[in-house]
Structure 1
Amino acid sequence: MSSSTHASKPHLSYFFCLLSLLSLLSGVQSDELQILLKLKSALQESNTTVFNTWISTNGVCKFTGITCNSEGLVTEIELSNQNLTGTLPLDAICQLQSLEKLSFGFNFLHGLIAADLNNCVKLWYLDLGNNFFTGEVPDISSLTGLQYLHLNNSGFSGTFPWKSLWNMKGLIRFSLGDNPLNPSPLPSEVVQLTKLDWLYVSNCGIQGTIPAGIGNLRELINLELADNNMTGEIPEEIGNLVNLWQLELYNNSFRGKLPVGLRNLTKLENFDASMNYLEGDLSELRFSTNLVSLQLYENNFTGQVPPEFGEFKKLVNLSLYTNGLTGPLPQKLGSWAKFYFIDASENFLSGPIPPDMCKQGTMKKLLLLENNLTGEIPANYANCSTLTRFRVSDNSLSGTVPAGIWGLPNVNIIDIGSNNLEGTITSDINNAKSLWQLYVGNNRLGGELPTEISGATSLQSIELNDNQFSGNIPSSIGDLKQLNTLRIRNNKFSGSIPETLGSCFSLTDIDMANNSLSGEIPSSLGSKSHLKSLDLSHNQLSGEIPKSFSSLHLSHLDLSYNKLTGPVPPSLSNGSFAGNPGLCGNSSALPPC
């Protein structure tokens, strides 16, 4: 036999090996095709185009959302945010031997998650978040290579298999929040995941204290524990988390002071510890110069707002309402960045309103009601066209309201009641097209109500009570078709009640008591089927009560101390009519007609 014949045998053996391997690979690929077609079938009700490419002639690697390796085997299924409905056939999916990524977040998937998930042993990325599953998360302790685990807001209930996390030493992101899980403390399995940079366990039944071991998670950039039943103090070990960008602790039952060491979190941009029982001062936040949003409302904080806050260059949201804070607000507050929102209401703050919070022309809401603020309303806010809420009631502000405030084009609420403000409501109010509520009661405002108020066509509520307004009520007020509340008591209005008031179809509450109004009560008011409360007492109104009032169903009617005459309609006998000697009627308080 020639040497060439001997030499060809190894080549032949190699050829058969290759053929066998290709045949095996082809068989695996055929299996994978069947698995993906089963997945498509399970989700076939979905109103989506994502499966248009999922046809057997295409080859699985050309299916939308599928990634393959060099051997043509499926490594990734990325079908998040595709409007998918149905249940997941995990018994089939987890037979994909090379599957590393499984992403079904933000869909409408439902049903149970089968224990077969434990067979997807090569996964490094699993996202089942933002769906509508039921039942418990199964044990997934075999998924030791997971780096990303997203299960948030998916309807999971029962007890979470925390021990599954024990061998997931490489876990980087873990989101379990917004699931109605059984109450559980934050377990030791979590605080040993030292590579975590994202821990989202808000609103998922976590109770007990924050373990000191939280300080081990030095890579964390986001820690969210909000909306749980957590208690105790915030541990000072949280100061070890020097990479934190966001810390969310709101709506728990945390007590004590802000921990020493919080000053180490110089990268912190968003901090929300609202709705707890925290106390002490805010001095530990003086060094958090990168803060963008700080929310500490509904706690028991005392002391001053640190003056350093006025130098924070990124701060755009500040919410400190319902605490016991004292002293002035820093005068440069909000003047550096595109400031958006301040609510420091219901404290004991004093001094003037910081003047430059709308310096960048972006501020939406200024809420400083129920404090002890003094000085004038800064003129700058008259140019703050972005403002939707301007609320500074229940303070000790004085001076004249800057005219432009009345005409801010986007403002919904002007609430300046219960101060010592003077001046008039100017014709600028014609520009306040978005204004729903005008609260200016209990001040020293005066002059006439401008006819241009009819330009504020969105007005639903006007409260001018306890001021020094005078002159006639403008007939143009009838153009305010959405007006439901008109309170102008304790002023010096004179002249007649305009008949046009009857054109305000939505009126439920009218209070014009204690003025100098004269003439007859307009009969058009009797057509207001929604009217529930009418107080015209202590004026100089004359003539008869309109017969149209017989059809009203009022819970409160006071026409006392006027100059009315004639019969009181029987349907109104529960009203107050004292001080009108010319009235008669069927009730015991009135002489018979």
Structure 2
Amino acid sequence: MKAMQMEKKPFNNIPLILSILSLISLSPSSPFTFALNQEGLFLQQVKNSLSDPSGSLSSWSDQDATPCNWTGITCKYPGSSASPSVISVNLSGAALSGSFPTFLCRLSHLSVLSLYNNSINSSLPLSISSCKSLTYLDLSENLIDGPVPYTLSDLPHLRYLNLDANYMSGDIPASFGKFRRLETLIMTGNFFNGTISPFLGNITSLKRLQLAYNPFRPSQLAPELGNLTNLEDLWLTNCGLFGSIPSSFGKLSRLVNLDVAENGLTGSIPCFIFQLKNIVQMELYNNSFTGELPAGWANLTQLRRFDASMNRLTGTIPNDLCELPLESLHLYENQLDGTLPDTIAKSPNLFELRIFSNRLTGSLPSELGQNSPLQTLDVSRNQFSGEIPRHLCAKGELAELLMIYNSFSGNIPANLEQCRSLSRVRLRNNRLSGAVPAGFWGLPHAYLLDLANNILSGNISYMIQGAKNLSTLSFSNNKISGNLPDEIGMLENLIEFSASYNKLNGEIPSSLVKLDQLIKIDLHNNNLSGEIPGGIQYLKQLNELNLANNKLSGEIPEEIGNLSGLNYLDLSSNNFSGEIPLGLQNLKLNKLNLSCNQFSGPIPPLFAREVYRDSFLENSGLCGGFAGLCSRESKGRNQVYLWLLRLSFAIAAFILLVGLVVLMWKYKNIEKINHGVIMTKWTSFHKLGFSVSEISDCIDEENVIGSGASGKVYKVVLSNGEAVAVKKLLERSAKDDTSFSSVDSEIDEFEVEVQTLGKIRHKNIVRLFCCCDTQTCKLLVYEYMPNGSLGDLLHGSRGGSLDWRTRFKIALDAAEGLSYLHHDCVQPIVHRDVKSNNILLDGDFGAKVSDFGVAKIVQAANKGAECMSVVAGSCGYIAPEYAYTLRVNEKSDIYSFGIVLLELVTGRRPVDPEFGEKDLATWVCTKLNQRGIRDVIDPNLDCSHKEEICRVLNISLLCTSPLPINRPSMRRVVKMLLDSSTEFKTKIAEKGCKLSPYSSDDNSKQSSIV
């Protein structure tokens, strides 16, 4: 009985145990939990279906009772005893990948779903329509492809749909016309290739419609869109539109932003736009609108930005347009004529006025700038006359004053010398006269001061020492007189100094040699006297020195021969004397002119060639290898010297001839058995310290350092310890002439590269030592570049180690090399295959342009683009117009160089599976428009250089402009890169780089990052 009672005793404690367990389970600190509810189980299925490399879903644990505390999950607590429901899933930027997780649609109360900025890489399933409670759906910036499910319109409560920046294609479903509550539809930056469906006009609830940057088939704007009377934002940039704007658009009375830029719209700008009384921004640029601007702008009292540039508009600017409180007015590259109304000066909010490249006449309003915080004024390339308005800087904010190529006259307003905000001043090619205000020389923030081609007079003020940020100083072709002040030597950022055709006198200040950033000094046609100052060897960056037509005397400093970058030297028409320094032979000169001086003695042997004949004319005591060079008075005095010189040349020629005969006899028909190479023709372009046999002996597979479509590259270490690179080109058959990288049939790759590189001397062009033609192959011997190509280094395992300083140096070096080809060669050379793999790096990461196998010499600049028989270039680098017109000029190289700049900034390859059918340039522009600068810059780069990186990115966008005319010259690119390396050029907003239009001297219209 006792035993039975003991067995029953535990049952008497069951209620107590259950009570205790109940209390424990309700305690917040309890280790015991209820089982995960049904919605949590659905989300666990979502987690299991996605790849989560960054662990964003690590908090999604089945140890919880509900998912309400999980990352990205929001629940609704109904109160009472009902369990909470998941109403929002926000996994933006979680680095998730995989197919669209359909289990999300099992959450019956889910109203908000955001998978923005992930890598969802499938098509959207038709079953997405089962997410019946959705009001907000954001799937932007993923890898979603395929068509848009027509079942999306079955979501009855959907108000927000964002599919931006994916890879979706096909048509916009006609079923979208069934949406009844949709307010936002964003589908920009995809690959939709149908048309903009007129059924969209049925979604009368729409407030925001954005379809820009899709390759739609050419179509007209659907009049049905005028039914969207609630619409506030309409963005249809680059949508293949043509025809006129439908009159039904006049019903869009709530419209705030109208952007139909970069299409083919025609006709006049319709008057019914004045019914859009809430409009704030109107973007009509880069279309084909014609006719005059209509009157009636006074009705648009909210308008702050109007851009109708790059159309075919004519006539004058209506007065009532000028009376609006505009923040930005862009009308450039039209055919506007007439005068600029005085009413434009009455706009209280006008801070940017760009009306360059039109036919506007008359004078600028005298009160311009007095009533508004004017920051930018660009009226260049018009027919304006009269004086510069006095009040342009009345509010103290004027930064850019651009008035080039007009007929402005009178003095530079004296009060502008107090405008300390000025950073960019261009007054070239006008009729300005009088003295330059003293303080104008010393504007503290100015980095560009261009006063060339006017009638200015007076002296250069000592106050120029205050222009610490000045990088370009140009006042050529004026009447400025007096001495060059010593204070010029305090402009430590000066890069270009042009003061030719003035009345300057006195000596060149010795302080000038302190400016170690100088690239160009042009002082020709003045009255300067004295000697070239000592210490000129410190100007290591100097590329051009022009002191012609002065009264300079003394000898040429021997140190000039140490300026390795100098390729333009003109000292003609002075009083220089003495012998010509032998050190000049060290220079890689494209132009040398020492004529009309008093030099004597021998011409250095390197220059004793017919090509330099005109470089030494009218020097009475100078003799060399040119018939008739010496004057009659000096012939007797130097006759013995001439005979000795001729005898020396004759002996040397005889020895050389004997050596060649012996060499030909020795090597005739002797085959290098080891490698099967027979040398039949050997041509050298530099003094060589190695023999043919050394090269052929080392052409072995063990020495291969690279290969391409045209052959292999070998590293050859010579007996003297020096290394060279040997490019072995295999012989091609006739059928290969149509290959992607082939050149015109009448000249093969070997001959082109030899002809091009053999005559080039520049520090940023790879040196070709020699070439040889064999029976089985052709060899090119270059200087060896130990750090290989930029492409291999940037995209290889060491790519992340390239810091910004190194990348910038590489960009600048390559730009200078291309600038030399385009501008400084006697016949300009178009490379035609600029890419990161053709930019080689020496031991100090100095860059040199290489591989001229498809280069083309442009015979005459006035012939414009030359038509090639085939496409030449590399995928990802080919300019758009070249791919379908086969017309090549220097603008093709500039586009390719822009892609290289983008590689340096982004760290990405020019083509990448992530881009889909987009190229790098399009991908960058899309990212900038959607996310800003943050997602574009290579994350390996130090953020402390962000400001400078933004400027270089801006230059790359200029270079990759779809329109060739909008791309700057390579000389301009070099200048912009140099400008971008200083801190004073551009102020960047705290949140990063912002978009602003280009100016007249860029000759373009495209958004830029400055």
Residue number in structure 1 paired with 2:201: 166
Aligned equivalent of 1:20? none
Deviations 1:376-427 (A, max 9, x none): 1122222222222011111111122122222222211101111111122222
2:133 & 2:543 partners in 1: Cα distance? 69
Structure 1 counterpart of 2:481, from 411, 436, 446? 446
Report the CA distance between 1:97 and its aligned residue. 2.5
Deviation at 1:485, TM superposition (A): 1.1
1:301-312 alignment, distance < 5 Å: 301-312=336-347
1:44 is matched with: 52
Contact 1:286 1:306 in 2 (8 A): no
Q: Contact 2:426–2:448 (CA<8 Å) still a contact in 1?
A: yes
AA matched with 2:314? E
Q: Given that residues 481 and 504 in structure 2 are in contact (C-alpha distance below 8 angstroms), is that contact kept between their aligned partners in structure 1?
A: yes
Q: CA offsets per residue over residues 196-220 of structure 1, 9 Å max, x none?
A: 1111111232222222222121111
Matched residue, 2:689: none
* Cα separation, 2, equivalents of 1:309 and 1:48: 58
1:239 aligned residue: 274
Tell me the residue number matched to 1:23: none
Aligned to 1:10: none
Q: Residue 244 of structure 2 corresponds to which residue in structure 1? A: 209
Distance across 1 between alignment mates of 2:298 and 2:92: 39
Inter-partner Cα distance in structure 1 for 2:74 and 2:519: 61
Alignment check: 8 A CA contact 1:68 1:75 kept? yes
- CA change 1:286–1:570 in 2 (3 A) is same
Q: 1:234 to 1:35 in 2, by over 3 A?
A: farther
Task: Note the aligned Cα RMSD (angstroms).
Answer: 2.6
- Cα 1:516–1:54 change in 2 (3 A) is farther
Q: Distance in 2 between matches of 1:300 and 1:329?
A: 18
Q: Shift in Å at residue 460 of structure 1?
A: 1.2
Contact 1:400/1:422, CA 8 A, preserved across alignment? yes
Q: Which has the higher helix share?
A: 2
Give the corresponding residue for 1:227. 262
Q: Please give the per-residue CA displacement for 1:465-487, whole angstroms capped at 9, x wherever unaligned.
A: 11111111112111212211111
Residues 226, 251 of structure 2: 8 Å contact kept? yes
The corresponding residue for 2:786 is none
Q: C-alpha distance in 1, partners of 2:131/2:468?
A: 61
1:87 paired residue number: 120
| Counterpart for residue 566 of structure 1 | 601
Unaligned runs of 5+ in 1: 1-25
Q: 1:62 to 1:158 in 2, by over 3 A?
A: farther
Q: What CA deviation, in whole Å up to 9, does each residue of 1:63-116 have, x standing for no partner? A: 5555556665555555567773311664376543211112344xx422315544
TM-score (norm 1): 0.88
SS, match of residue 545 in structure 2:
strand
- Indicate conservation of the 8 Å contact 2:37/2:66, yes or no: no
> By how many angstroms is 1:164 displaced?
4.6
Q: Which digits, 9 at most, give the CA deviation of each residue in 1:7-31, with x for residues without a partner?
A: xxxxxxxxxxxxxxxxxxx987457
Is the alpha carbon distance of 1:477 and 1:287 closer, same or farther for their aligned partners in structure 2, counting shifts above 3 Å?
Answer: closer
Q: In the alignment, is the contact (CA less than 8 A) between 2:306 and 2:329 conserved in 1?
A: yes
Give the superposition deviation at 1:360: 2.1
Determine helix, strand or coil for the equivalent of 1:330: coil
Aligned partner of 1:580 in structure 2 is 619
Offset at 1:512?
0.9
- Report the CA distance shift for 1:464/1:263 in structure 2 as closer, same or farther (over 3 A): same
What is the CA–CA distance in structure 2 between the aligned matches of 1:94 and 1:288, rounded to whole Å?
51
Task: Give how far 1:356 is off.
Answer: 2.1
Partner-residue secondary structure (3-state), 1:563 = strand
1:315 aligns with one of 338, 347, 350: 350
Compare 57-66 and 274-283 and name the one that shifted more.
Answer: 57-66
Contact 1:73–1:98 (CA<8 Å) still a contact in 2? no
Identify the match of residue 500 of structure 1 among 535, 538, 541.
535
Q: Distance in 2 between matches of 1:318 and 1:42?
A: 52
Which residues of structure 2 form unaligned runs of 5+? 1-35, 79-83, 96-116, 631-641, 646-1010
Deviations 1:249-304 (A, max 9, x none): 11111111112333321211100111111110102544642111101011111111
Counterpart in 2 of 1:389?
424
Does the 8 Å CA contact 1:75/1:101 hold for their aligned counterparts?
no
The alpha-carbon distance between structure 1 residues 58 and 29, as it changes in their structure 2 partners (threshold 3 A), is same
1:101 aligned to which of 129, 133, 136: 136
Deviation at 1:172, TM superposition (A): 0.3
The residue aligned with 1:5 is none
Return the alpha-carbon distance in structure 1 between the equivalents of residues 507 and 617 of structure 2.
26
CA distance in structure 1 between the aligned counterparts of 2:381 and 2:294, rounded to whole angstroms: 24
Give distance in 2, aligned partners of 1:395 and 1:174: 47
CA distance in 1, matches of 2:413, 2:436: 9
Whether the 8 Å CA contact 1:43–1:86 is kept in 2: the answer is no
1:519 aligns to what? 554
Work out which of the residue numbers 441, 453, 463 in structure 2 matches 1:428. Answer: 463
Report how far residue 48 of structure 1 moved. 8.5
Deviation at 1:120, TM superposition (A): 4.0
| C-alpha spacing 1:438/1:180, structure 2 compared with 1 (3 Å) | farther
Instruction: State how far apart, in whole Å, the 1-side matches of 2:201 and 2:379 are.
Output: 44
Question: Whole-Å Cα distance in 2 between the matches of residues 365 and 58 of structure 1?
Answer: 64
For 1:565 and 1:302, locate their aligned partners in 2 and report how far apart those are by CA, in whole Å.
60
Hey, what's the Cα distance between the residues in 2 that align with 1:48 and 1:402? 65
Q: CA, structure 1 residues 478+136, in 2 after alignment: closer, same or farther (shift >3 Å)? A: farther
Matched, 1:33 2:43: yes
Amino acid at match of 2:239: C
- Are the equivalent residues in 1 in contact too, given 2:514–2:539 (CA < 8 A)? yes
What SS does structure 1 have at the residue aligned with 2:619? coil
AA paired with 2:626? S
Residues 417 and 287 (structure 1 numbering): CA distance in 2 closer, same or farther, change over 3 Å?
Answer: closer
Return the alpha-carbon distance in structure 2 between the equivalents of residues 43 and 122 of structure 1. Answer: 30
TM-superposed CA distance for 1:503, in Å, is: 1.4
Q: Which residue of 1 aligns with 2:224?
A: 189
Decide which of 124, 133, 155 is 2:167's aligned counterpart. Answer: 133
Q: 1:37 to 1:123 in 2, by over 3 A?
A: farther
Amino acid at match of 2:142: L
Rounded Cα–Cα distance in structure 1 between residues aligned with 2:479 and 2:466: 23
Deviations 1:179-201 (CA, angstroms, capped at 9, x unpaired): 34333322223222111111111
Structure 2 residue matching 1:242: 3-state secondary structure: coil
Residues 341 and 365 of structure 1 are in contact (CA less than 8 Å); yes or no, is this contact kept in structure 2?
yes
Distance apart, 1:438 and its partner CA: 0.7
* CA shift digits 1:496-523 (9 cap, x unpaired): 0123222111111111111111001112
Alignment correspondent of 1:413: 448
* 2:519 maps to 1:488: no
Cα gap change, 1:433/1:52 in structure 2, threshold over 3 Å: closer, same or farther?
A: farther
CA drift of 1:357 comes to 2.2
Identity rate of aligned residues, in percent?
A: 38
1:536 aligns with 2:550: no
Distance 1:66 1:262 in 2: 50
Within the candidate set 159, 162, 171, 1:124 is matched to: 159
5 Å matches for 1:456-475? 456-475=491-510
* Correspondence for 1:151 among 187, 193, 217: 187
Whether the aligned pair in 2 keeps the contact of 1:293 and 1:316 (CA below 8 Å) is yes
Question: Partners in 2 of 1:161 and 1:392 — Cα distance?
Answer: 47
Q: TM-score, normalised by structure 2?
A: 0.53
Give the number of the structure with larger relative contact order, counting CA–CA contacts within 8 Å between residues 6 or more apart: 1
Letter in 1 for 2:47: L
Instruction: Measure the CA separation in 1 of the matches of 2:225 and 2:46.
Output: 34
Match of 1:358 among 366, 387, 393: 393
Q: Secondary structure at the match of 2:191?
A: coil
Mapped to 1, the partners of 2:419 and 2:92 lie a distance apart of 41
Deviation at 1:177, TM superposition (A): 1.6
- State yes or no: 1:175 paired with 2:241: no
1:265 maps to: 300
Counterpart in 2 of 1:15? Answer: none
Partner SS for 1:109: coil
Residue 550 of structure 1, CA deviation: 1.1
Partner amino acid, structure 1, of 2:181: G
